[in-house]
């Protein structure tokens, strides 16, 4: 249960980090340049998620027993898991909002 909560909180943090980085790139007039890079522009959020996991030195999926033999595999897998949890985070926030209105 705590692992899922940690992943959801990291997905919330990822949304904030992506928004801040996008706004900084927009101010520096680099957002369009980054968006035009073929692989990076299309998967910008995933790259930021992997970078965030690496900088924070976290492995939230280890709570489920997901652990690879190399560190880079753990960083990439955990970053992908956090990035993939964004729709789940959106569903949880929507569910909480509906519950608070009732």
The encoded tokens of residue 4 equal 């899922």
Whether the CB-CB separation of 14 and 79 falls below 8 Å is answered with: no
The size of the chain, in residues, is 102
Total structural domains within the chain: 1
What's the domain range around 65?
Answer: 2-101
Taking only the tens of pLDDT, the chain with its 102 residues reads 799 999 999 999 999 999 999 999 999 999 999 999 999 899 999 999 999 999 999 999 999 998 999 999 999 999 999 999 999 999 999 999 998 776
């Amino acid at each position: 249960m705590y692992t899922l909560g940690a992943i959801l909180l990291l997905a919330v943090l990822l949304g904030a980090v992506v928004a801040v980085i996008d706004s900084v790139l927009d101010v520096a007039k680099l957002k369009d340049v980054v968006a035009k890079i073929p692989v990076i522009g299309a998967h910008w959020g995933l790259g930021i998620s992997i970078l965030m996991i690496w900088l924070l030195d976290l492995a939230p999926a280890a709570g489920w027993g997901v652990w690879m033999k190399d560190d880079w595999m753990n960083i990439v897998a955990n970053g992908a898991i956090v990035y993939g949890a964004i729709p789940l985070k959106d569903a949880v926030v929507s569910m909480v909002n509906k519950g608070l209105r009732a």
